[in-house]
Structure 1
Amino acid sequence: MPTGVHIRDARRQLFDAAERVLLRDGPSALTSRSVTTEADCAKGVLHRHFADFDEFLAELVQERITRVGDQAAALRAAAGTGTVQGNLAAALTDVLDPTALAMVSLVFFRDEVRTRLRGAGVPVLAEAREMLAAYLVEERALGRIAADADVDNVALSLIGAGHLLFAGRRGGPPPAEEVDQLVATVIADVVQRRLL
């Protein structure tokens, strides 16, 4: 991009470019040069907006975590509607999309990014677990799952098993039937059978 040409939203352009590189080539290919080349801008643009490349990557992951927060609000609003199993299966499919899974790989690949994010657990997956647990609390209050359900462990099991089911797939998520079966298996002991 020629010098002096204004980029409307440089941060968004850089984040979108980084996601494309990450999805296409993996975390090892994610460099400041690959991102700015993909964004079709000068390398200096990235350094005008971020102190260093690790800060850029940490903010990229943080943006995904913010999206999980938005998904969490929508899922909590769905409590009492549809079925618990259907809501959880849809939430897993949404939250474990290819970009989110790539972000998890990035966090494992780049120690400095993980250090900067300083959360409990694996960033993105930890927030996804919190999202599911908050939803399950709502459903428990509505009587759609057992009053003694350990929602934290159910959510942890859903995220752990879901991550294994979704990770490493090329060309999209697993078939809906596989996701439904996983959810049904994990929640079998806590959901009220008539409302499954």
Structure 2
Amino acid sequence: MPTGTAIRAVREQLFAAAERILLRAGPSALTSRAVTTEAGCAKGVLHRHFEDFDAFLAAFVLDRVGRMDAQAAALRESAGSGAVVDRLADALTALFGSVAVAVVALVTYRDELRARLRHDWPAGVPVLTEAVDMIAAYLTAERDLGRIAADADIDTLAPTLIGTAHLLHADRGSAPPDAAALRRMVATVLANVVS
């Protein structure tokens, strides 16, 4: 088997284990021992592929951010079809139903991880800044099609939608908001700009 394939398989096995732990128990439960145990491999495997645990976590976060590209492209391509509010509510549900909220908690929980991420991600919090870009690109496409007011302040609307959706989803102890509540929030934020 080519070396690159084996490395990718091990990395994905470790990333999948980290994601399961993060979703199940939160950032405080993420340790190298927990990840390798969850992945079913020896602890040395993680350290053979990554400089240290924070390097692993940085690679994990960037990998999960990279997975948002397909969702962003699909949302952008949907411009001009369906109701804008419904498209955004669905996109936000998918985004915050993923590992996104947990990754944000992980980044804020670990100082060393934030410091490492600054090399590849100089501003903002990975996932949230990517999500803002995704929403802004969609809103821009809808504005270009005349379905959103020409003077809509997309640079304010996109982070407002992401920030509010994050607040609605951030409570790990409660169920996520229902679809009606999320749709109501999107409709309220966009009330003055949707045609």
TM-score scaled by length of structure 2: 0.91
CA 1:96–1:8 in 2, change beyond 3 Å: closer, same or farther?
A: closer
Runs of 4+ in 1 over 6 A off after TM superposition: none
The AA in structure 2 aligned to 1:191 is V
The amino acid that maps onto 2:44 is: G
C-alpha distance in structure 2 between counterparts of 1:98 and 1:167, whole Å: 12
Q: 2:17 aligns to what?
A: 17
Residue 148 (structure 2) aligned to one of 145, 148, 169: 145
Q: 1:183 aligned to 179, 183, 186, which one?
A: 186
- Fraction of identical pairs, as percent: 62
Q: Distance in 2 between matches of 1:167 and 1:60?
A: 20
Residue equivalent to 1:3 = none
Unaligned 5+ segments in structure 1 are 1-5
Whether contact under 8 Å (1:93, 1:173) holds in the other structure is no
- 2:158 maps to which residue? 155
Matching residue's letter, 1:166: H
Q: Is the Cα–Cα contact under 8 Å of residues 107 and 113 in structure 1 kept in the other structure? A: yes
- Quote how far apart the aligned CAs of 1:113 are: 1.3
Tell me the C-alpha RMSD between the 2 structures.
1.6
Cα gap change, 1:8 to 1:108, in 2 (>3 Å): closer
| DSSP 3-state at the match of 1:87 | helix
Tell me how far 1:173 sits from its aligned partner.
Answer: 2.9
Match of 2:82 in 1: 82
Aligned pairs, number:
187
**Cα deviations by residue, 1:64-106 (Å, 9 ceiling, x for unpaired):** 1111222111100000010100110011011112511110000
Q: Higher mean Cα deviation, 167-176 or 127-136?
A: 167-176
In structure 2, distance between residues paired with 1:152 and 1:97:
24
Q: Deviations over 1:173-196 (max 9, x none)?
A: 31100010000000001111xxxx
